[in-house]
């Protein structure tokens, strides 16, 4: 089965499903937006009834969520649901929306920890809240507290959204078990990312598996499988885990490459932005093994005011050291590994095609 082109030949009984991956993505996005928009407005209304401070926090979250992102987690959940025999994508929209809210929670706490001011082309939630809340005499500022509470609120929303599913409760419970495990893994990964003293290649690999692969790919596809009625020890669920783990790492490695070499017009982020921010990505750790590259990169890593020529020199060093090519090679190998896992078990062909195309979308993207 090819991973590109239309998949109309595999539609079979799914007459209501669109005939290509791109249209499926559009359909899922439209369903998720249509569900989230009034749902978030209702949450903001509840917050407004409490007081203006609460309303400001809920509104900052609402804006982050509607500003979007690629909704790839929602697409992966819906694809796995179809692949495991689910019929109506609309049945899993509250769970797909819940993953978007989970991401809002994680992004909000991450952005606060990392001091990131911009997210999805607008202010990050901590940056938005700093406008409204001042310092306090003691302890963290009100703006800090409001940022943490914004993340906590989004986490509560994620749970409540998923519980609006109308599917059999046993399936909902199965999906939530996966969610609980993913939430623990993401925190483990973030702790390693923020607090670990040394940063070996092994640590970076573990952070990617825990912090990105778990909630970007594994959680969504396992939840989709559970919602279609697969048990946790189902061969399909196990195969989807084998599909998800390399794909999640490949997704993050592509992110690393885009964060260094990505075209700012496509990514919306400055050239070499990750380097200036001092992110010790797998790409950087790989290149630093070469002493010449290490010197060039060391000159600008974490230097937000680094000069353009120094930045260009560091990017050339990433190339010349072979690090860029090796990371590209790893992405290709991970994509193959992910694709092979899809062939191990019987899946509904249309859904299998969606999952195969998701590999391309996540690992060959330019933004």
Q: Collapsing DSSP states into helix, strand and coil, what is residue 118?
A: strand
Dihedral sign for Cα 308, 115, 186, 94, please: negative
For residue 169, state whether it binds a second copy (rule: CB under 8 A). yes
CA distances from 204 to 60, 189, 209, 212 (A): 31, 9, 9, 11
- Contact letters (x/-) for a second copy, 203-242, by CB under 8 A? x--x---x--------------------------------
Pick one of 19, 33, 144, 234: the residue that binds a second copy (CB under 8 A): 144
Of 148 and 360, which has the nearer Cβ to a second copy?
148
Shortest Å distance, C-beta 177 to a second copy: 5
Q: Collapsing DSSP states into helix, strand and coil, what is residue 123?
A: strand
For residue 153, state whether it binds a second copy (rule: CB under 8 A). yes
Q: Which residues pair with 122 in a beta bridge?
A: 119
| Spatial separation of the C-alpha atoms in residues 23 and 153, rounded to whole Å | 33
Q: What angle do CA 268, 271, 272 make, to 5 degrees?
A: 125
Of 43 and 324, which has the nearer Cβ to a second copy?
43
| Spatial separation of the C-alpha atoms in residues 23 and 292, rounded to whole Å | 47
Of 170-209, which residues contact a second copy (CB under 8 A)? 170, 172-173, 176-177, 179-181, 183-184, 187-188, 190-192, 194-197, 203, 206
Of 58 and 358, which has the nearer Cβ to a second copy?
58
Q: Classify strands 122-123 and 118-119 as parallel, antiparallel or unpaired.
A: antiparallel
Cβ-Cβ contacts under 8 Å for 292 (sequence gap 6 or more): 317, 320, 321
Of 202 and 295, which has the nearer Cβ to a second copy?
202
Stretch that binds a second copy, among 76-84, 85-93, 150-158, 324-332 (CB under 8 A): 150-158
Could you tell me how many helices (H) and strands (E) the chain has, helices first?
17, 2
Of 68-127, which residues contact a second copy (CB under 8 A)? 109, 112-115
Binding positions for a second copy, rule: CB under 8 A: 43, 46-47, 50-51, 53-54, 57, 109, 112-115, 133, 138-140, 142, 144-146, 148-149, 151-153, 155-157, 159-160, 163, 168-170, 172-173, 176-177, 179-181, 183-184, 187-188, 190-192, 194-197, 203, 206, 210
């Amino acid at each position: 089965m090819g991973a590109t082109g239309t998949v109309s030949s595999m539609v079979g009984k799914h007459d209501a499903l669109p005939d290509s991956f791109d249209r499926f993505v559009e359909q899922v996005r439209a369903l998720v937006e249509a569900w989230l928009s009034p749902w978030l407005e209702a949450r903001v209304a509840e917050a407004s009834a409490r007081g203006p401070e609460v309303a400001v926090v809920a509104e900052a979250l609402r804006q982050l969520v509607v500003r979007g992102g690629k909704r790839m987690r929602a697409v992966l959940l819906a694809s796995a649901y179809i692949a495991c025999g689910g019929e109506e994508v609309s049945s899993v929209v509250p769970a797909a929306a819940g993953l978007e809210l989970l991401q809002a929670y994680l992004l909000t706490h991450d952005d606060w920890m990392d001091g990131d001011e911009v997210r999805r082309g607008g202010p990050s939630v901590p940056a938005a809240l700093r406008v409204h809340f001042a310092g306090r005499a003691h302890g963290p500022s009100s703006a800090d507290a409001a940022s943490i509470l914004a993340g906590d609120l989004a986490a509560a929303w994620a749970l409540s959204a998923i519980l609006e599913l109308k599917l059999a409760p046993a399936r909902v419970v199965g999906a939530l078990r996966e969610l609980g495990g993913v939430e623990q893994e993401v925190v483990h990964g973030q702790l390693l990312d923020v607090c670990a003293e040394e940063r070996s290649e092994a640590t970076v690999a573990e952070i990617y598996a825990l912090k990105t692969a778990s909630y970007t790919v594994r959680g969504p596809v396992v939840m989709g499988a559970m919602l279609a009625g697969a048990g946790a020890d189902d061969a399909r669920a196990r195969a989807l885990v084998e599909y998800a783990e390399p794909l999640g790492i490949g997704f993050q490695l592509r992110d690393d490459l885009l964060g260094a070499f990505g075209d700012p017009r496509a990514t919306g982020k400055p050239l070499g932005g990750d380097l200036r921010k001092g992110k010790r990505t797998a790409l950087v750790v790989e290149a630093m093994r070469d002493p010449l590259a290490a010197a060039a990169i060391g000159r600008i890593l974490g230097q937000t005011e680094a000069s353009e020529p120094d930045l260009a020199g560091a990017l050339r060093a990433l190339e010349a050291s072979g690090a860029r090519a090796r990371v590209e090679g790893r992405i290709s190998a991970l994509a193959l590994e992910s694709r092979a896992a899809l062939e191990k078990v019987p899946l509904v062909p249309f859904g299998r095609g969606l999952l195969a195309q998701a590999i391309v979308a996540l690992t060959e993207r330019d933004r």
